Amino acid sequence: MSWSIHGGRGREILVNLRENQMKRRRAIQTLAGISVAGALPLPASPQQTSVAPNQPTGANQPPNETPKLDSAVAEAAAESVPRLFSSAQFGALGRLAELLMPAAGENPGAKEAGVAEFLDFLIGASPADRQTLYREGLDKLNVEARNRYGKHFAETTGTEAGTILAPLRRAWTDESPEDPLARFLQAAKQDVMEATLNSREWSVTRAKRSRRAGSLGMYWYPIE
C-alpha cells in the first residue's frame, strides 16, 4: 500500500505507486534515524523525531503532530518495524478508523485502505507525546467498552461504539479539548481522514472515475 501525507488543507497529493526496496530502506533510515545495515524488519522502538523550537506549549496544547511523510516512506509501513501498539490497542484503532471513515459506494474506507496499519507505523515515528496520546486514548476506548458492554472496543457494534465516541459530537472549537479522550479522538479523526483520502486505494478509485468522466467531456482531479 502507498500513502502520501502532506501539510495544508489545499495540499497537492503526490502518489507514488512503486518504489524500489533500497529507496524504502533509506527513507525509513532517514526518518527514524536508525541504522539499516541488515535486511528488514528494523529493530523495535523507533527513534523520536525532534520538536520544532517555536512550537507552542501549554497544558491544553495538542501534542506534536505526526510527521509529514511522502509515499516512499509510507509504503514501507507494510514491511517495517513491529507494531507500536498492543493487540488490544491495535484492534481499537482499527475499529475506530472503520467507524470514522467507512466505505461508501465505490469509495474505499479506512479499513480497505489499511489505515490502522499505516497509523501504527506513522505514530511509531512520531514524538513521544503523540505516541502517549494514542496509547492512552486507545486504552480509554477499551476501558469504556469493557465497563459498559463487557467487551473490547474492537468488538463493539456501531450503536455501542457511538455512545463511547460521544465526545466527537461536541461543537468544534480551535482550542484543544481539556478531556484527554476528546483530545485523542479529535486528533485521530484528522489522521484517519487524511490517511484514507491520501491512500493508494482512494487514489486508484478516483483515477477510475476520472477516466470514466473523461469520456463524457468532464474532468475529475485525483484527491485535492
Task: List, for residues 33-61, the tens digit of each pLDDT value.
Answer: 433 333 334 444 444 444 444 444 444 55
Q: Which domain holds residue 203?
A: 83-214
**Residue 92 covered by a domain:** yes
**Percent of the chain residues past pLDDT 90, beyond the cut:** 44
**Domain presence at residue 106:** yes
CA-CA-CA-CA torsion sign (117, 85, 193, 103): positive
Q: How far apart are CA 116 and CA 114, in angstroms?
A: 6
Burial of 58 (0-12, 13-18, 19+ CB in 10 A): exposed
Helix axis angle, 180-197 to 115-124, nearest 10°: 120
Q: Is residue 127 part of a domain?
A: yes
- Give pTM, 2 decimals: 0.62
Judge whether 118 lies within some domain: yes
Number of domains in the chain: 1
Is residue 40 in some structural domain? Answer: no
- Tell whether 29 is covered by a domain: no
Q: How far apart are CA 55 and CA 27, in angstroms?
A: 25
Q: For the segment 122-167, what is each residue's pLDDT rounded down to a tens digit? A: 999 999 999 999 999 999 999 999 999 999 999 999 999 999 999 9
Is 206 domain-assigned? yes
In a domain, 131, yes or no: yes
Question: Where is 2: in which H helix or E strand?
Answer: none
